[in-house]
Amino acid sequence: MLSVQLHWDPFDQLDPGPCINVVVTNSQDVIRAGRSIGLEYPEPRPMRALLDTGASVTVISKKFADHSRLFQTNEGSEITAIGATHRCGEHAGAISFPGTSLRALDPIRILSADFPGERHYAILIGRDILRNWLIVFDGRSKCVTITE
């Protein structure tokens, strides 16, 4: 089994938490179908994602969902974060993990919501993805290891 190691410093209060590089695009099936009728899609763009065991679902910043022109499949879903409720969209996308051996997920449901003021990451990787992996949070070594 191959593993991925991420740096994370729980002793640094400004550390946002364990983050991984991801690329979020439309599902390859959507891109193929869209291109066949002349639709265009933006080039994939790497972004940072937080491994968030507190998130039941994967959520992308609405700004990046719009930039990626993610295919929307629902609207008006609700998420609660720190007591506040936010309305969000639902999209069918694909997530890959460049530079790692982790398997890409395509298609996968991704919710979109406003991330006001967040500078460190554009995506929360929720338990719908985390449940596929063995993850070790080693605070003393400042390291997170993901094994698929």
Partner 1 sequence: MARTGQFSAELKVFERHRDEWVRSHPGQYVAIQGDVVEGFFETYAEAFKAGLSAFGVRRGFLVKQVWTTEPVYLVS
Q: Which residues bind partner 1 (CB under 8 A)?
A: 27, 29-30, 33-34, 37, 39, 52, 54-57, 59, 62, 65-66, 69-82, 85, 89-92, 107-109, 111-112, 124, 126
* Rounded-to-integer distance, Cα 12 and Cα 10, Å: 5
Pick the closer one to partner 1 by CB: 75 or 138: 75
Pick the closer one to partner 1 by CB: 5 or 42: 42
What is the DSSP secondary-structure string of 93-147? EEEE-TTS-PPPEEEEEEEEE--TT--S-SEEE-HHHHTTSEEEEETTTTEEEEE
Q: Min. distance of Cβ 101 from partner 1 in angstroms? A: 22
Q: Min. distance of Cβ 19 from partner 1 in angstroms? A: 16
Please count the other Cβ atoms lying within 10 Å of the Cβ belonging to residue 64.
16
Q: Min. distance of Cβ 22 from partner 1 in angstroms? A: 17
